[in-house]
Structure 1
Amino acid sequence: MKNFMIEVLMNKGLPFEEVAKEVEEYINYSTGIQTIFQMQWLAERVRQIETAPKEMVNPWEYKDEYNRRLKAVVNRRIESILKKDKRPEDYMVKGSKDFLNYLKKLNLQIYLASGTDFQDVIEETKILGVYDFFDEIVGAPPNKMMSSKDILINKLLNEKHLDARNIVIFGDGKVEIELGRKIGALTIGVASREDELGGIDFIKRERLIKAGAHAIIGDFLEKEQVLKWIGII
């Protein structure tokens, strides 16, 4: 997403250093929200630069182009898994699959909410071999500007009548952490280094702490320690 946004804004005549700084700050701020909302920000910046009418800059067109590029990357990864050149774990935060398996053995309900389009989330979780761990998956609804994370939280509270004190939210974005704090759930920020799929990225850590995370982890390798701290085991 970073490279795509920089490319769009540089094509409008802005210098690279200025664009890169602005885009990096925005992505750090917006991680976890629906893709369409991020493209709405991009469209608004383009309108400001060009002083173009709102209807001339369509965030859905930016989303389609971004998704097309992202899909090409994802498809290459899927192909590498299917050819057994890579393992699913090579594209997952360290320990995450074992952690999900452990939670399932404890008969805990597991839900996934993603800002990525719903069908893409389903496909990717199946390829990664984690689809069956989840009791329900919620992704971005097609052609709608709605937050999948709000949708899931509302369902858990209002339809399943869960007590927020019995909900634990793991996430790498401030959106889900803030939502969790708002309802009174326990929140754990996942501040993984993307190049290592583990360890602590200190910029992410700072962002998640500001969002209100009760605790920060870099990966799921110490699953027993995490679950003991939560009070599950």
Structure 2
Amino acid sequence: MAAIKAVVFDFDGTVSTLRAGWEEIMRPFMYESIVGNSKLSEEQVEALVREIDEYIDQSTGIQTVYQMRWLTATVKEKAWNNLVLDEWEYKAIYNERLLERVEQRIKLLSEGKLKAEDYLIKGAVAFIQELHSRGIEMYVASGTDHPDVVREAEVLGIAPYITEIAGAPVGKAECSKEKVLQDLIRDKGLSGQELAVIGDGKVEIALGKEAGGISLGLASDEEKREGLNTVKQKRLEAAGADWISGDFGNRGEWLAQLGL
């Protein structure tokens, strides 16, 4: 096994929980956008809620604008709501609602009412510091808008250890996770075996495997910030993760998985 030289982390749900609960905002937003003022039968409501839940589950980790593209297509397809917005308009509304929650959390941090650890997966900082001390380059790749990821990484105190942070380019539908991996292989001449990808979504796990790297799953319970989330665990297993843990408290095991 080649020595690991670079690790790509997903951010939300893998390191940070500042955006924990985003599903609770996306779910009702999608429902109201699709239904509009229409009166649905109980069966229709149940079927739609199930369809939205299934989509959110399988799309976790992709860029938000792609999720909103699905929303636009579904609003058109169901034809219950005459008001059909495009993906960017839906994204703007959803982001505004989500950022209200994020801003409240950042405010509590800035006022000293909460500490950074309250929004970090257990052991994440110590693990990142350990990798940094061993000269491992670390990258953060996220489907969240780039300026927001940078700011949140700074607020949580991990930015100084990260070689590069890559969020979704504002106003463009591009997969930043894919780009980071491609750039590492092409620009830095790293072979896939020198790369590891760590994340809680199937998107980054699949990208890591495609790149020939090691894909390690983080099946985090975002509320407790420690322990295994079995729903995520199954999703990560299905995506082909090489190994799965619930948090970074077991630092020695993580290092062993990286061959360090």
TM range (shorter): over 0.9
Match of 2:220 in 1: 192
CA RMSD, aligned part only? 1.8
> What does the per-residue CA deviation read over 1:196-218, in whole Å, with 9 as the maximum and x for residues that have no partner?
11211111111111111001110
1:83 is matched with which residue?
111
Residue 9 of structure 1 pairs with residue 59 of structure 2: no
Q: Distance in 2 between matches of 1:144 and 1:12?
A: 31
Rounded Cα–Cα distance in structure 2 between residues aligned with 1:28 and 1:193: 15
| Aligned partner of 2:52 among 4, 9, 23 | 23
SS in 2 for 1:46: helix
More helix by share: 1
TM-aligned CA distance change 1:12 to 1:168, over 3 Å? farther
- Contact 1:10 1:16 (C-alpha < 8 Å) held by counterparts: no
Q: Deviations over 1:40-78 (max 9, x none)?
A: 01111101011889x953010000001101111110000
1:22 CA displacement: 1.5
Pairing 1:61-72 to 2, within 5 Å after superposition: 61-72=89-100
State the one-letter code of the partner of 1:194.
E
Alpha-carbon distance, 1:20 to partner: 2.4
Q: 1:98 to 1:75 in 2, by over 3 A?
A: same
Identity among equivalent positions (%) equals 38
- Report if aligned partners of 1:10, 1:19 keep a CA contact under 8 Å in 2: no
110 and 169 in structure 1: CA distance in 2 versus 1, 3 angstrom threshold: same
What letter is aligned with 1:88?
A
Shift of residue 226, structure 1, vs aligned partner = 1.4
Alpha carbons of 1:103 and 1:69: their partners in 2 closer, same or farther (altered >3 Å)? same
Consecutive unaligned residues of structure 2, counting only runs of 5 or more, are 1-25
Higher RCO structure, 1 or 2 (CA under 8 Å, sep 6+): 2
Q: Secondary structure of 1:146's partner?
A: coil
**1:48 to 2:77 alignment:** yes
Alignment coverage as a number of residue pairs: 231
User: How far off its partner does 1:85 sit?
Assistant: 0.7
Pair 1:12–1:171, CA change in 2 (3 A)? farther
For residue 12 of structure 1, report the CA deviation from its aligned partner.
5.7
Deviation at 1:118, TM superposition (A): 0.3
Structure 2 vs 1, CA of residues 82 and 61 (structure 1 numbering), >3 Å: closer, same or farther? same
| Change beyond 3 A, Cα 1:100–1:84 | same
Kept in 1: contact 2:36–2:81 (CA 8 A) = no
Structure 2 distance, partners of 1:62, 1:209, is: 31
CA distance in 1, matches of 2:248, 2:175: 26
